[in-house]
Chains A and B, each alone.
Chain A
């Protein structure tokens, strides 16, 4: 145990360095040495990274949020419906979608803390429910520029609102994608919550020992509701980014994203047992998995191989983290 807190980030960084070194070796004819590759990696990892930031807070409380992938899809569908079909202005639509994410997340937190239910079960239920809601709202269709005519005889094509291109564009001389900036902002706020705010300290205490926290007067229920609400908000943000990148609201999108978000958090070194870890570690995890995916696709490893390798590397990374505790 001694020095464990010191070596956790080091181990996570070491894993990232190993992956990065693999990229230097398997550079796919120099593709890995081009800046564009790294920007693209960041763009692709951003949506997952946003989910992982919210997930970090949840996992610190010894919880889990399986619903984020479905909430992402619901947010993408809602955002597309409101802006493309209903013609709402972007700011109003964004506030409405974020509000929906917060409400869904807070209801998970409320159920878990009020009735003492297991986070796994509650968020599994919400995962199914939110996916169904996304399909209900969208009528099972992708919400895109093609709008069904009122008489059902065909499609009208409308213009894509500007906000879609805005979110999916580059800034700073074309070097950084807007979604990446959104990710960085979400990561910064998540870090502040966990490391600088009272509610973050409460989250660690609840994760480390809920009864000790309760006996010390920590508002356990409020803490859990806030933490899951933040995760819901992150999922909604990610959903808006996803809609912008796909230029549509697909009710089937984001399937399995909750698992990559969990993998990013865990590879960073945040313990699923709760009470330790943090957003900085998660960032390392996001980069590790992001680079891994990028290197595999650069080298044209097929999807089958990519999935198997990713699975194996997650197990390896977690075993690596465990050896720290035994040592």
Chain B
């Protein structure tokens, strides 16, 4: 191992959200002049750790030492003052302001009570030149390419004399050439003795840039090793863990096709040149459960949204039981027999101030209001039966749905889908943020649906769950299908390898 003393040391870092402990005692050392890659599947705790370093969270346990001195950033600007700079996936620049203004945001150089624009422009030009960049620093940054904007963030970090740079998937929005330039700059930072913590999902990148690799899984550190001593196979194994949960369902998909998706593409409104989903086709048979696997940004969730018509498709056809589903019109999709579960129940699933009954019947109101007149008693009877069946616990069915626990709120949304008697269910993270008993009930519900001949397509950021539920798994990487695995072929190792862009 390296004999140099670590510049940044983390010991026993723990962080919980409610009852869920997402970091369970992380020890990590970052040396001056090295690039440490932090790897791990979705939900492993990488982002949480980054946010602790960045001073976003202050309610964590454990110790942090910087050059042997204990520190504890409680606010982002405290982290910055300690010399820890974070460059996030979404850049934190103010679009309409110039590059120079952004560089000195919050610590403007002043002259006669005003901002000294000339001095700032000169200094900004110098900093950017050090990164090998020649741009007009007076242009609004929103007019500059993403790669240049990223460089401005790096320049800002350097101008504040950051000794530790944390880069959270910095290449996710870059082209190959831009990535190459970024890596050259990272080499430069290393040679200046700065420490870089680099997060990436891309295998080839990891091995191009890493001095050492640390792997997180389920909130624990699996291990840290020099990149030269940790092969890709072993890395995948570290990320996936050992043999995973058994399958919970006995699958018996029928022959008849229920959902047919052909050549589906979805554009990224922010980046027209790189689609969110590119030319995806698949079919779903009666009683089949299809899992869409992929790392964050793989396009799995966008596929569900585009099939339902929530996201506009740039191309592609969707048919349910042979009938076409138009793009961009959820109401038509519901009538065709599609049901969609959003991955964020509070933001766009529930009408929080309304009652449980109203939430459950919302998608099937025509049934409960012949001629436009509501039949409250009929609604309540139907919801009462369903609530009993799903073990949905509420203070009363007339209470606002906001008074329910997360698991029961999720059940209310699933009950809403039940009432529409759909042919095909599109479930985006059906068990996100629910407790184990609710999770088990939801798994059983999915099984019941498939037995009833409905078809299900789902995503889950928990790979074991996805594998346990699915008859077939589509693995996505950057909006394209990388592998299609039948149940007996779908192992965690193969899925992760394909999701990282390799061969299954």
**Chain A residues packing against B (C-beta within 8 Å):** 1-2, 4-5, 196-202, 204-205, 208-209, 211-219, 271, 275-276
> Is B372 a contact of A209 with CB atoms below 8 Å?
no
**Chain B residues packing against A (C-beta within 8 Å):** 308, 310, 330-331, 333-335, 340, 342, 347-354, 358, 362-363, 365-366, 369, 372-374, 395, 399-400, 402-403, 416, 420
- CA of A48 to CA of B489 in the docked complex: distance in angstroms? 70
| B353, B363, B369: the one within 8 Å of A216 (CB) | B363
> Is B372 a contact of A199 with CB atoms below 8 Å?
yes
> Is B335 a contact of A208 with CB atoms below 8 Å?
no
> Is B354 a contact of A275 with CB atoms below 8 Å?
yes
> Is B373 a contact of A208 with CB atoms below 8 Å?
no
> Is B351 a contact of A205 with CB atoms below 8 Å?
yes
> Is A2 a contact of B403 with CB atoms below 8 Å?
yes
> Is A201 a contact of B350 with CB atoms below 8 Å?
no
> Is A1 a contact of B403 with CB atoms below 8 Å?
yes
> Is B349 a contact of A212 with CB atoms below 8 Å?
yes
- CA of A1 to CA of B402 in the docked complex: distance in angstroms? 8
> Is A218 a contact of B369 with CB atoms below 8 Å?
no
| B342, B354, B399, B420: the one within 8 Å of A208 (CB) | B354
Known contacts A1-B400, A1-B403, A215-B340, A196 near B374 by CB under 8 Å: yes
| A1, A204, A271: the one within 8 Å of B358 (CB) | A204
Which secondary structure characterizes the binding site on chain A? helix
Residue of A nearest to B333 (CB): A217
Known contacts A198-B373, A211-B347, A205 near B362 by CB under 8 Å: yes
Known contacts A215-B310, A217-B334, A217-B335, A208 near B353 by CB under 8 Å: yes
> Is B351 a contact of A204 with CB atoms below 8 Å?
yes
Q: Which residues of B contact A211 (CB under 8 A)?
A: 347-348
> Is A198 a contact of B354 with CB atoms below 8 Å?
no
Known contacts A197-B373, A205-B362, A275-B353, A219 near B347 by CB under 8 Å: no
Q: Which of A196, A198, A216, A275 has the most CB of B within 10 A?
A: A216
> Is B372 a contact of A218 with CB atoms below 8 Å?
no
Q: Which residues of B contact A217 (CB under 8 A)?
A: 330-331, 333-335, 363, 420
Q: How far is the CB of B59 from chain A (nearest CB, A)?
A: 23
- CA of A5 to CA of B366 in the docked complex: distance in angstroms? 26
- CA of A200 to CA of B369 in the docked complex: distance in angstroms? 11
Q: Which of A4, A198, A217 has the most CB of B within 10 A?
A: A217
Q: Which of A198, A199, A202, A215 has the most CB of B within 10 A?
A: A215
| B335, B351, B366, B374: the one within 8 Å of A212 (CB) | B351
What 5 A-B pairs come out closest when comparing CB atoms?
Answer: A217-B334, A208-B351, A211-B348, A216-B363, A198-B369
> Is B365 a contact of A198 with CB atoms below 8 Å?
yes
Q: Which residues of B contact A204 (CB under 8 A)?
A: 351, 354, 358
List 27 interface pairs A-B (beta carbons < 8 Å), by A numbering.
A1-B402, A1-B403, A2-B395, A2-B399, A197-B369, A197-B373, A197-B374, A198-B369, A199-B372, A201-B362, A201-B374, A202-B365, A204-B351, A208-B351, A211-B348, A212-B349, A212-B351, A213-B362, A214-B331, A215-B308, A215-B349, A216-B330, A217-B330, A217-B333, A217-B420, A218-B331, A218-B365
Known contacts A198-B374, A201-B365, A211-B347, A276 near B331 by CB under 8 Å: no
Q: Which residues of A contact B342 (CB under 8 A)?
A: 212, 215
Q: How far is the CB of B434 from chain A (nearest CB, A)?
A: 18
Residue of A nearest to B402 (CB): A1
> Is B365 a contact of A208 with CB atoms below 8 Å?
no
> Is B402 a contact of A196 with CB atoms below 8 Å?
no
* Besides A1-B403, A2-B403, A205-B351, 16 other A-B contacts (C-beta < 8 A): A2-B395, A196-B374, A197-B369, A197-B372, A197-B373, A199-B372, A202-B365, A204-B354, A208-B354, A212-B350, A212-B362, A213-B351, A216-B362, A217-B333, A218-B362, A275-B351
- CA of A211 to CA of B253 in the docked complex: distance in angstroms? 33
Q: How far is the CB of A82 from chain B (nearest CB, A)?
A: 32
Q: How far is the CB of A218 from chain B (nearest CB, A)?
A: 7
> Is B334 a contact of A208 with CB atoms below 8 Å?
no
- CA of A198 to CA of B368 in the docked complex: distance in angstroms? 9
Q: Which of A2, A209, A211 has the most CB of B within 10 A?
A: A209
Residue of B nearest to A221 (CB): B331
Q: How far is the CB of B74 from chain A (nearest CB, A)?
A: 27
Q: Which residues of B contact A199 (CB under 8 A)?
A: 372
- CA of A22 to CA of B106 in the docked complex: distance in angstroms? 54
Q: How far is the CB of B455 from chain A (nearest CB, A)?
A: 19
Known contacts A196-B374, A201-B358, A209 near B334 by CB under 8 Å: no
